[in-house]
Chain A
Amino acid sequence: MADPMKVRATLKGDIADIRVLMNHPMETGQRKDGGGKIVPMHFIQNLEVKVNGKAVVEGQISQAVSRNPVFSFRVKGVKAGDKVEVSWLDNKGDTNKTETALA
């Protein structure tokens, strides 16, 4: 049910530049819909970046992160072909995961 996410991992020297695009409404619980009713909070709380199965970045975020969040991370000591995995979990228990190879 969660919309697809996109991960791009490129190698610059021995540093991987990992760019992540998540599709998520990131509702703050402060916005009102057309009928004047408050749209309930719905946002990603946890995200994790793994390289070859090992966690490298663990993030906790709030509703203050923009809709359809975009993140960049950098990891060193990696090589082409390494497996990069990104996952998230939101406040309703929805989760998503994407995998890509470092290029």
Chain B
Amino acid sequence: MDALRRTVLRGAGASGALAVALAAGLLKPQQARAAGWNKDAFGAKTPADALKGIGAANTSESKDILIDAPQIAENGGVVPIEITSTVPGTRSIAVLIEKNPFPLAGKFDFKEGAVPFVKLNVKIGESSNVRVVAEAGGKFYVAVKEVKVTIGGCGG
């Protein structure tokens, strides 16, 4: 774990160098947008629109989705969230931070063999509900957990 932490710190320095390279115009300009990126859902500014974007209508609450996230996050820039869905046949998991400027943070599709589990770090701008939507058998199941943030993760 410690080695991983070192890499993270080193990475922080390296990405600074990347930013400098970008500013100097060394890297190629905007091009080739990702083909498989749901622009409508990710560009949505409200949770309702984001849900519409991923086609999630008629969600029902489920206790079979576990969200492991801190109740209080000191640093909204890095909030670890661990999600496990035990809904049988879960095919995808989407994560929404309701109060972020663009609520949808990610959507993960699980193919054959993958366990419906994901752990990631997200930015949370202000105290917000974290909404997780799992898709199974064409139905959408949802679970919500509130995360309080003491220092925001957006802007600066």
Contact = CB atoms under 8 A, between A and B. Distances in A.
Interface of A: 1, 3, 6, 8, 15, 19, 21, 23-25, 27-28, 30-32, 39, 42, 45-46, 49, 51, 54-78, 89-94
B97 interface: yes
Nearest to A62: B42
B100 interface: yes
B34 interface: yes
B105 interface: yes
Contact of A3 (B14, B32, B37): B14
24 contacts: A1-B18, A23-B14, A24-B15, A25-B15, A28-B154, A28-B155, A30-B101, A31-B156, A57-B109, A59-B106, A59-B108, A60-B36, A60-B38, A65-B105, A65-B106, A66-B153, A71-B118, A76-B113, A76-B114, A92-B28, A92-B29, A92-B30, A93-B31, A93-B32
A3 to B, nearest CB: 5
Interface residues of B, number: 55
Main secondary structure on A side of the interface with B: strand
Contacts of B122: 64-66
